[in-house]
Every structure is written in structure tokens, then in C-alpha cells.
Amino acid sequence: IVAIDEDSLKEEGRWPWSRRKMGQLVDRLIEADATAIGFDIFFPEHENYISPERFEEGIKKQQTQKMNAEELIEWYQGLNDADQQFAKSIERSERVILGFFVNPADKKLTPEDLEQLDFSQYSIVQRFDDGTQPLPLRQIFSVGLSIPELMNASNAAGYVSFVPEMDGVVRWVPTLMQHGEYMFPPFSLQLVREAVKSPLAVNIFEFGIDKMALGESPIPVKENSDILINYYGPAFTFEHISASDVLSGKVGHKDLSGKIIVVGATAAGIHDIHTSPFGPLYPGVEIHANIMESILQNDFLMRPEWLSILDLLMIAVSGLLLGLVAQKYKAYGAAIFLVIGMLGYLSYDFYLFTQKGLWVNTVYPIFTQIFVYSGLALYHFGFEQRQGRFIKGAFNQYLAPTVVNQLVDNPDFLKLGGERREITAFFSDVAGFSSISEKLEPEKLVQLLNEYLTEMTDIVLKYEGTVDKFEGDAIIAFFGAPLEFKDHASRTCLVAVEMQECLNTMRDEWRAQGEPELFMRIGIHTGPAVVGNMGSTTRLDYTMMGDSVNLAARLEGVNKQYKTYTMISESTYEQAKDEIEVRELDLIRVVGKLEPVKIYELLGKKGEISETSKQVLPIFNEGYELYKRREWNNSAECFQKVLEIDENDGPSLTHLERCITFQIHPPPEDWDGVYTMGSK
């Protein structure tokens, strides 16, 4: 593209330029051995301007002092030969194509216009219609041509008019416009024909264009001759060379030899601007370049009629599939399918567009999917999800959010029954709560208890536990149901550690306020249990049942015997030992169970125990090993050493008392080390 741009205007002066300068531009392009030259510029009037330079040149060559008025006028008019000079340059080139405009239908094509366009028709036109019915082709009623001198000097002319679609975007260009028996090609095809020296041929039937070709190369067009423009990129994708650089010789044979040159105006205020699929402000001269490039490269975009059937099929199939998916899955599932479907369709569309040159309709199938999904989503929200909203409203205050969500997803869970699953049961109780409640007013007691239960419950829910119920000051919870996760034992232990840490902070605040201080005992056990909705047909509780649950409750009470605050079973320890610090306390047999249970005191998270515990643990562990070997005196000495370090160490005090008792009343010879609890 040789552009009349801002740089050219700065160098050569304001537009329009003299026809002499345009002739010089043609001469430079001929010298550079350009293959074909097309002017996307209109020259409708004769030039009547004589530049001062031209006047000075003429006055030096002609003695005007002795001329009379008539001679002087004739001489002056003779100076204005710019049109003739431009025409001579065009004629010498034997390769120039001019553009012309198609005017509105209120004007008429004159015989003079047809005479000048006689050599600008299709090379070969084969008609197979009867000529009695109008063809579905765009009609030319009148044209705007350049002056006759230039038209007659050029090799041919082609129309440069575009037909934008309803949204103003130029996507299609007619490759043939008709006036009676005359069939005219556009500027771009004329220029390519001039470059490759091949005839333009077209076959016409009653339905319109059947075949169009440039030499042996077919050009895919619609029946009305429209060709879909294959845009190679946004504006200025094609090289723009400033016209001033050509005139000055800066750009010449090396850059232009063998090229098709399109001369057009792109400077602000004088160029023709159109809207392309890449956006507005697209130079018209570059639209011609896109058309020519696709013809030369045989790189076309096509939209055959059968694609309209594919569009309808995609609309129907996508809507039907989305409807079926929405019936089976919830709104989120349908949304995922919608996104996958849209991305899949866009990918397939992109493949057809880039690899096969097929333009498939993108908007309608995509919007169909969106509209179908929106309608189904409204249906779900208004009808099917009404049940879910009811369940949430009814149970949200009583069950953990995870349980509520499962009930929403599976309303059948509201039926009686449950399922067997391994869980970790959690029981807690406030030590000495009865005596505390006797000292407080009921309102104060409720306030204190609510504050305590709120903080503790938040920690349970933080680790996705299920709060089974509150029994006064007791919290009963479990982990591993309804949401199933493998680390339920670790989560329960971490909950217990954070609860004790939180309660310690709360005691500092209560102490500062003169309020009673609460201490909590916790029992934890991991094992199989039945979880689900238990109760009557009118009143249900999502809860847990089984021996594992009872053992966790027993361990909470066993804390009293060892003056500890958090006790876990061996099964819990084995699953959570990588996350926690413990000390082995004893092997006991709780009330109501024959099998002994190894119990541990939960001290904290892994690597996070106090300095006192670090001193106590080795001595206590040694004393406990001696205790199991019935070495009562040595064992008692170890426990005594622990109490010298921490006089409040409950397990050491308990074992010391047993050692003293067993020294006087030793257990039977077949004693297995198990201590049987005498109460719950």
C-alpha cells in the first residue's frame, strides 16, 4: 500500500496534489517495476489549479509581453496540462487500474459512462438463464467515474464501493455488480487480474452465480456474488509505504519490484474509513488488500448454505443436551456442563475457522445455551430448590452447615436410619459446673455458658466437625460424617488442643472480670459407629450410636481419676500420632467393657509442649515402665521426682498412690497391668 499519509502531506504539501505529482508517482512505480498499480482514489474533475512553480516555468519559456488578451488566455490555459501529463503516465505504464464509485439508485448510468467502462467487464461471462427473470445480483444504477482522459488511459476500472451489514461492519464484498447485460468486477479483482494476466470468468444461472474463477483458480462466492473477506489482521497489517518516500526515491526497485501496488489515502480527514470485525477506523484501501491477498494465496473464508443447517442443528442439540443435564444434575453441575459446552463449541468453531476456512455462527448457539441454562436455573430456584431452602431454614440453626448441605443435596437422608462408618467421637464436660451454677444467677450463668459454647463450637466447625448436641455444659461432636475424610482422628485432636488453648485465654479474661473460671475435660475415641438420622418420624436428630461413642464418653469421665483434661484412646493415637504430643497414662478397663483400652493424655500439637512437660515426660515414662514390671518402690520414686518438678501433675499423683497401695496389697500374680475403673 502506497499511502497518502501525514508524512506525505508534510513533505509534498496539502491534498489534493497536482495531477503532475500523481503522474510522477506512477512514473516512479514503473521505474521500480511494479506488477500492477491500482488507484483507490477518485479523480472526478479536471484540475484547474496552476501552481506558482508551473507558472514561473511557463513564463520563462514564453514571451508574453507582445501577446493580446486572447493569446494570453490561450497561453495560460495551455499551462494547465496536469491531467494530460497524468494520463500519459498512466497510458505509458500499461498496468494502472482506476477505482469508481457506485452511486445511489436515484441516478442513471449514461451511455458515456458505459462507453468508458466497456473494457472493465468480466473477461468471460457464460449465462445459462433465460434472461426473463431478474438475477439475485447487486445492481448498478449510476457510477462516479474519474475524468475521461484518465479512464481512457487506464487498463481497466473496478468499483470500490462496499456494502456494510446492519451492524455497520464490512464482512462481505460483491464480486459482481450488474447493469443490464454488463457485468462488472470490483477494484480488487481487476487489480489481481492485471497482475496475473489471467481472465476473470463467471457462470450465471437463474439462481445466481454458479462458478467464478480467475484463470484456473476458483473463487468461492455466494449466489449473489458476495465473497467473505478473510481479514489477515487489524488495520496496518499490510505494509504501508509513504508516497513521499516513493516520489523521493527512498523506496524503489528493491522494495517494489514484482509487487501489486494499491495507492490510497490514509491521512486523517481524507481517507475512507470503515468498520471491520477488528474494529472501527479500518482503511478502505486495506480491505482491498485483504481480498487480493486471499485470492492470490487461495486462502478463503467460506460460509456455504449447509452451514445454516449446522447452525440450527447446533442450537437444537445444545439446548436439548443442556436440558437433559439440568434434569440430572443441580444448577452447579449444569453450569459446569454449560462452560464445557461453550468452550468446546468455541474451540471447534475456531478450528473450522482457522484450519478449514469455514465461518460457523458463534453467537446463536452460545446464546441458546445461555438462555436455556438461565431458564432452567430459574425453574430450579423457583420450584425444585424450594425444598432445599425449606431444609436450610428448618435445620440451619441446629446442625452443622456440612450436614445441612448434605440434607439439601440428599433429602432422603431425612428418613429414619443410618450408615456404619469409622468416626472419631468427641465428648467434653465442664469440671465442677454444678457448683459453679449454684453460685451464679440464672441470667449470668446462661451468658457465661453461651460465651463458652460459642467459642468451642466455632473450633469444631472450623475443622468441619459435626456438633451432635449440647447437654447442659457438655458438647458432643464427631468427625468423619457426614463428610468423610481420612484424617478425622487428627482433626479431633487438633480441635481439643485449640479448645484448651482458647479456654485458657478465656479464663484470663474471666479472672480479670471476677467471673468464675471454667475447666473442660475431653474424651476422644476413634472407631466404628452408626451415624444418621435417629428418632421418630416427626422428630429426627442426626447423631451417632455405638460402643465407640460410649467409650469416648467414658474417657471423658476417666479424666477425673488421673486429674487430666484431655484423654484419647490408643486407636485415636495411632491415627493422629504424627500431629500430636502425648504421654501414655495407663491400660484400663472401663465400666461395661471387657476389653482393656490403652489411654493417653493429649499434651499439644507436634513439637509444641511446655518446658515443664519436656522435663516430666522422661521421668514419668520410666516410672510407668517400672510400674508395669511391679517394681513399686522404684516406680514410686520416679513419680515422686515428677511431683517435685510439677506438684499438680495428676497422673503421677494417681500412680504414686497406686504404688503405695500395691506395696501393701499387691495385685494377683497373674495381673496383666490393667486397671479396672470402679465407676463411670
Q: pLDDT of 272-306, one tens digit each?
A: 789 999 988 899 999 999 999 999 999 888 776 66
Closest CA to 171 of 223, 229, 219, 226: 229
Chain center to CA of 423: 40
pLDDT: is 75 or 173 the higher one? 173
pLDDT band at 247 (very low <50, low <70, confident <90, very high): very high
58-76 per-residue burial string, b: 16 or more CB within 10 A, e: under 16: beeeeeeeeeeeeeeeeeb
**SS3 assignment, position 251:** coil
Phi then psi for residue 655, to 5 deg, are -70, -35
3-state secondary structure of 97: strand
Q: Domain residue spans in the chain?
A: 2-296, 306-384, 415-609, 612-680
**What residues contact residue 124 under an 8 Å CB cut-off, 6+ apart?**
199, 200, 201, 202
Res 280: pLDDT: 87
Per-range mean pLDDT, top range of 50-59, 308-317, 473-482:
473-482
Task: Output the CA–CA distances (angstroms, integers) from residue 48 to 43, 51, 62, 77, 78, in the order listed.
Answer: 13, 10, 20, 9, 11
Q: Which residues pair with 568 in a beta bridge?
A: 524, 600
Would you say the C-alpha torsion 40, 46, 52, 57 has a positive or negative sign?
Answer: positive
pLDDT digits (tens, 9 = 90+) for 646-679: 999 999 999 999 999 999 999 998 888 899 887 6
**Within its chain, how far is the Cα of 234 from the centroid?**
24
Q: How confident is the model at residue 134 (pLDDT cuts 50, 70, 90)?
A: confident
The band of 587, judged by pLDDT with boundaries at 50, 70 and 90, is very high
- Taking the whole predicted model, whether its pTM rises above 0.85 is answered as no
**pLDDT attached to residue 202:** 94
Asked whether residue 107 carries a pLDDT value surpassing 80, the answer given is no
| Structure confidence by residue, pLDDT tens digits, 600-650 | 999 999 999 999 999 999 999 999 999 999 999 999 999 999 999 999 999
pLDDT of res. 338: 74
What is the dihedral sign for C-alpha 283, 284, 290, 296? negative
59 confidence band (pLDDT: 50, 70, 90) = low
In this prediction, residues 229-254 reach a mean pLDDT of 93
Distances (CA, A) of 407 to 355, 413, 452, 464, 576: 50, 6, 28, 16, 29
The 10 Å CB-count burial string (b at 16+, else e) for 526-564 is: bbebbbbbbeeeeebebbbebebbbbbbbbbbbbebbeb
CB 26 within 8 A of CB 90: yes
Residue 497 has pLDDT above 80, yes or no: yes
Residue 392 pLDDT: 66
> What are the residues facing 203 on neighbouring strands?
126, 211
Mean pLDDT of 194-219: 92
- The CATH code of the domain at 612-680 is 1.25.40
Q: Helix, strand, or coil here: 98?
A: strand
**316-340 average pLDDT score:** 72
pLDDT at 306: 65
Q: What is the pLDDT of residues 539-563, one digit of tens each?
A: 777 789 999 999 999 999 999 999 9
At residue 386, does pLDDT exceed 70?
no
Whether the pLDDT of residue 384 is over 60: the answer is no
What is the arithmetic mean of pLDDT over 226-230?
92
pLDDT, averaged across the chain:
86
| CA distances, 303 to each of 211, 310, 342, 359 (Å) | 15, 11, 21, 5
Give the dihedral of Cα atoms 10, 12, 16, 20; nearest 10 deg. -170
Q: Which helix (H) or strand (E) holds 273?
A: strand 273-276
Q: Which of 396, 398, 463 is nearest to 426 (CA)?
A: 463
Query: How far are the Cα atoms of 102, 162, 241, 254, 679 from residue 200, in angstroms, in the given order?
Result: 20, 20, 29, 30, 108
Residue 340 pLDDT grade (very low, low, confident, very high; cuts 50, 70, 90): confident
DSSP code of residue 484: -
Instruction: Compute φ and ψ for 293, nearest 5 degrees.
Output: -65, -45
Q: What average pLDDT does this structure show over 163-182?
A: 91
Query: Which residues, including other chains, have CB under 8 Å from residue 357's CB and lie 6 or more apart?
Result: 230, 299, 300, 301, 302
CA–CA gap between residue 329 and residue 593 (Å, rounded) = 47
**CATH architecture, domain defined by 415-609:** 2-Layer Sandwich (3.30)
pLDDT tens digits for range 637-647 = 999 999 999 99
Contact 174, 228 (CB under 8 A): no
Q: What integer pLDDT is reported at residue 416 of this predicted model? A: 57
E strands in 546-616: 566-569, 580-589, 597-605
The lowest-confidence range among 257-266, 320-329, 391-400, 538-547 is 391-400
Please, where are the H alpha helices in 363-400? 363-379, 386-395
CB atoms under 10 Å from CB of 247, counted, come to 20
Pairing of strands 142-144, 96-103: antiparallel
- What is the arithmetic mean of pLDDT over 49-78? 62
Residues 155 and 189 sit within 8 Å (Cβ to Cβ)? no
